[in-house]
Structure 1
């Protein structure tokens, strides 16, 4: 029998569900994602809303199909015990069933709480317990196994639902059920219970939480960030008013579902503006699948754009001599042309003709190969993008733009106008959003897209929301033309022993302009000089080494090669030339492995956890500042069984002089 729905309350465990009307006076009660989904099913029932590639074949869902799946799954979830006000865990790669489930939970006034698919059982278990989760949906057997492991110590996790039946169907343990079973149960209810369909469509209200996302947790446990229907829809409307979104975009959904950008783009904007959302078969086939879909809008983080550039460069190096000649003839020209264009210079007739020829021979074919030939609105956000990467893709003919936002603002705060792009800014506030800078230099934001408070964290809410302003924690300033410049996190402002002020992330982002460096941690707080721990990019550096006949057997082996140290020293030296002398990097080490989220060194969105890095690599850090030429470092690693082991690595420590790159191994002064 169906469980009676109840209105969410603060006692159910999430942020207060019904905000005072005065807090958001322009919100309308029925302005919900569910009602806009129903509108689409009513007005354009046969238009394709979502595609998923499965075994090489694109499976399509129309808006009518979308709505019917959401309502059937909602009715099934309710029959199996999901209640209003509860959180429901959703974990896995992008899949239609997982998107449907998040909306189905919303129809019941429950709250979907997505987790990153590569999260460990410990991380997922912490989230399950913090949010008192009884119902969880996992994509496949891998995720179900994690949830069953959690269930051993947390029996309150009563129901585990799976999407992919491989390895599970017919072998389900107690409390594990397939999503199709819930859908069939829901369809039966919809057929036999008059009025249930309208009831499910009408329960949700604009002040209900549409999704419970999470902060990155760089300094502690992640904080829950409840975004209401009104927050998400207001953010999307702001962006659409600025021309950032258009109705009917063709969109690829391949970014993590637990990231705010995916929910805002693939759910909020997709439903409000009737996007066609396309889901690759796997993360590994995403680039191939993109070519087949040819999206009109493409959104990815700076790291993904940088990886795409590496892929292009590797492909060119492996192509024919004639293609390499064409690329080397036209690409530098286009990059310099774009740089000057952004500085306000207009090209003459000759350069425009040469650009047109390059479009025919080089730029257009590369965009086509990447699957980006139809992209009219390419975007990046999440962290600073390297100038070289940004210029390259704009030179390629993609009008790449940056935007700025946080989970707390539904991802959309400010963006670059297509006619006023600057390399160092993130643009102006969207319509309906206010930005100002505090006396301490912190960026403050106000608008109906700003969340109303953290999940069960009144202390953090009081610190972050003051007098209707969101204290973002980011340092920045506003230029005379109104464009916002983001410098880094306020809490990351530190001082050297000599009193020089610096923000490590600001320097790190400039260094990561190089595709040879995957991650870097700048050290120097209360020290005489700055040093760095570098994690090379194995694909880019590996290809570079192969082209130059540098043999290697593994990441660790490659990282310690003298030519690779020379390569990285050159990258750091070029950055030093742009920094004040007191803030130049004097020593560095190439780490034997990348920073790993499973080791707690970075978050799932690859933000550094500096306290963990300081603890893990303390001997290396002391050796950097002690003037040692190398260090024997005992590396601890964990097997898949959970057992740990140790292996000793000898790591080089290199100096960088103020002029001329790497020297031998002289101690830092």
Structure 2
């Protein structure tokens, strides 16, 4: 268990790192030609100090709140550390946020300055700036603002910055992160330096196989999660505090991400299940296109059986893989699993997954293929992970045990409660909302779950998302949706049925997967309007629904479904920035389609 920090703040990490090991590689960033260039601990410290001086020269003071609106890139981490160096509080904003969302967060947080990535973001701020009397500065990364700030601070004495840094205590607020808001207005979670230091240090210490590498093989991770999300910020901080080489990738799409994984060659990644699904589905499509889908599917079965046998041995319930299974596994490691690992850069042996549930079978496949995925669970209010699977005893299909120093309790109504030094202090300016979720240091998460006999947590749904049919049957939609999505052609699924006679679903398809599926059948590409009426596609989706229904009672099963022409998107207000479904918004937008399911 990581000790609770007694003094200092997050910025000390950078200065201590540079003092102890100035020539060690701390980060890497792309140059103008797209090549990765290493940044030493000393060089990064100098950049942070120079930018901190510029912030002071531009009027940023201790306790000021400064918003960061950008994709995941090197400069975000640079600004984060510079702001913490002067005792300011960063307010992350998703780069896809609307003008009204931006207005609410900047006004609620009384933000004094904003750093944006490019002109589009600047125009979004500009459209509401007349309603933000506290906003004094607007900086734009792509307008070379880092150089401008560094030049402005050239005359500021180093000691002025260090006085600010030494005034930061663990209890100081480091950041105000707004919840993604599936319902209602987002609330600002006030997270302290102590919250982040405890969380990051606990993860690095307990999950040392992830954050440490073998001698001579430098530990490295490529951060592609949004830094506006608490999971991404935890990765940023844990990498610096754990002395792990950190790179940034601004695009979460597989097309942009996969080449950078190959070029950067991380030793571990932290991701959401979507990334692992994409890697798996791309590998299977490639095998199918090459006429090798049979061997690939056999390799999947072998990987799953191998990982299950290893899991049973870890829990004292079996001897481990048989000699025959080991031989099959060894064969497929050379012809299949190695290629899956190479798609992630070739060095990845560990990964952590969070944000939503991962199918047990998918986790077992990656474990059998040589990439151990440790699934965890947490919220913004718990500074990322509250639970995670321990490396030596991973139970796939669960989100693991409480992280050291934390406790999980299941309330009488099934709600998950969490207690620990990673639990946030309060919501900004909202004591009523704070009092509704914090009870004597315990956080009522709003999630429903169960603990097994070994203390492993399984999340079963959200309290607010429970559907109640007109017949009085309560249904948690999450598990059903996850099982339907397991089909390679399905992109998204939303289960409906509140106050209706039975459960139904709206389904969207993965366009890339469908194009491949059509090609393998020797069929021409089809327009979306044609696809939704295609009987063969309907049959494939029906298979997914039938498979999902096998896990629930008849009253909880999906009776009918409809395939939609377009995926739910954040741009249309149907997904949160962390890709969660906005249920009410979707049901409103597709009210006619939902009604048609009950005619």
Name the CA distance, whole Å, in 2 between partners of 1:273 and 1:341. Answer: 29
- Residue 403 of structure 2 corresponds to residue 438 of structure 1: no
CA contact (8 A) 2:15 2:45 kept: yes
| Separation of aligned partners in 2, 1:150 and 1:427 | 44
For residues 383-408 of structure 1, give each alpha carbon's deviation from its aligned partner in whole angstroms, at most 9, with x where no partner exists: 11123322322221111121111111
Between 249-258 and 103-112, report the one with greater CA deviation.
103-112
- Write the distance in 2 (CA, Å) between the matches of 1:155 and 1:552: 53
| 1:205 aligned onto 2:169 | yes
Distance 1:612 1:369 in 2: 36
Matched, 1:41 2:18: yes
- TM value normalised by structure 1: 0.83
Tell me whether 461-470 or 233-242 shows the greater mean CA deviation.
233-242
Q: Does the CA contact (< 8 Å) of 2:85 and 2:161 recur in 1?
A: no
SS at match of 2:576: coil
1:53·1:280 contact (CA, 8 Å) conserved in 2? no
- Aligned match for 1:333, one of 302, 327, 344: 302
1:252 paired with 2:222, answer yes
- Structure 2 gaps of 5+ residues are 213-217
Residue 86 of structure 2 corresponds to which residue in structure 1?
108
Residue in structure 1 matched with residue 52 of structure 2 by the alignment: 74
SS at match of 2:66: strand
Secondary structure of residue in 2 paired with 1:599: coil
Contact conserved, 1:387 with 1:513, CA < 8 A, in 2? no
Question: Which residue is 1:520 aligned to?
Answer: 493
Which of 97, 100, 103 aligns to 1:119? It is: 97
Contact 1:206 1:229 in 2 (8 A): yes
- Post-superposition Cα deviations, 1:178-215, rounded to whole Å, max 9, x if no partner, equal 221001222332xxx36224324313221111122121
Which of the numbers 107, 124, 128 marks the counterpart of 2:106?
128
How far, CA to CA, are the matches of 1:246 and 1:25 in structure 2? 18
Question: What is the CA–CA distance in structure 2 between the aligned matches of 1:103 and 1:428, rounded to whole Å?
Answer: 31
2: CA distance, partners of 1:342 / 1:459: 45
Q: Is the contact between residue 36 and residue 264 of structure 2 (CA under 8 Å) also seen in structure 1?
A: no
Alignment equivalent of 1:271, drawn from 221, 233, 240: 240
Q: Conserved in 2, the CA contact under 8 Å of 1:144 and 1:162? A: yes
Q: 2:340 aligns with which of 366, 371, 377?
A: 366
Structure 1 residue matching 2:422: 3-state secondary structure: coil
Residue 29 of structure 1 is aligned with which of 7, 25, 35? 7
Deviations 1:316-337 (A, max 9, x none): 2233x4x556434433322333
- After superposition, where does 1:328-477 map in structure 2 within 5 Å? 328-343=297-312, 344-345=317-318, 346-371=320-345, 373-477=346-450
Contact 1:521 1:532 (8 Å CA) reproduced: yes
Q: Secondary structure at the match of 1:199?
A: helix
Aligned to 1:665: none
Q: How many residues align?
A: 584
Is residue 149 of structure 1 aligned with residue 127 of structure 2?
Answer: yes
CA–CA distance in structure 2, aligned partners of residues 47 and 556 of structure 1: 55
- Closer/same/farther in 2, CA of residues 25 and 563 from structure 1, 3 Å limit: closer
Q: Is the 8 A contact 1:56 1:281 kept in 2?
A: no
The answer to whether the Cα contact below 8 Å between 1:307 and 1:515 also exists between their aligned partners in 2 is: no
Pick one of 205, 219, 227 that aligns with 2:183. Answer: 219
Asked whether the equivalents of residues 50 and 60 of structure 1 are also in contact (C-alpha less than 8 Å), the reply is yes
Please give the secondary structure, in 1, of the residue aligned with 2:507.
strand
TM superposition shift of 1:559:
3.1
Secondary structure of the residue that 1:164 maps to in structure 2?
Answer: helix
Spell out the pairing of 1:486-525 with structure 2 (5 A cutoff).
486-525=459-498
Shift of 1:544: 1.2
Q: Aligned residue for 1:307?
A: 278
Residue 116 (structure 2) pairs with residue 138 (structure 1): yes
TM-superposed CA distance for 1:73, in Å, is 1.2
Give 1:180's match in structure 2, choosing from 143, 147, 151: 147
Are positions 1:285 and 2:263 aligned together?
no
Q: Name stretches of at least 5 consecutive residues in structure 1 with no aligned partner.
A: 1-23, 170-177, 627-669
8 Å CA contact 1:71–1:200 kept in 2: the answer is no
Contact 1:133–1:156 (CA<8 Å) still a contact in 2? yes
Residue 149 of structure 1 deviates from its aligned partner by 2.7
Structure 1 residues 248-295: Cα deviation after superposition (integer angstroms, max 9, x where no partner): 7311111101011110011x2122111110123755532112112221
- What's the offset of the Cα at 1:153? 4.9
Q: What SS does the corresponding residue of 2:62 show, helix, strand or coil?
A: coil
1:558 aligns with 2:522: no
Q: Distance in 2 between matches of 1:61 and 1:25?
A: 29
CA contact (8 A) 1:386 1:512 kept: no
Within 2, Cα distance between the matches of 1:612 and 1:246?
A: 39
Measured against aligned partners, the alpha-carbon deviations of 1:113-154 in whole angstroms (never above 9, x if no partner) come to 111122223322222222222311112233223223332554
Structure 1 stretch displaced more, 97-106 or 463-472:
97-106
**Residues 496-515 of structure 1: per-residue CA shift (max 9 Å, x gap):** 22222211123212222223
Aligned-pair Cα RMSD in Å: 2.1
SS of the residue 1:97 aligns to: helix
Q: Partners of 1:84 and 1:286 in 2: how far apart?
A: 37
Alpha-carbon deviation of 1:234? 0.7
Moved more, 354-363 or 472-481: 354-363
Query: Is the 1:437–1:444 contact (alpha carbons within 8 Å) kept by the matching residues of 2?
Result: yes
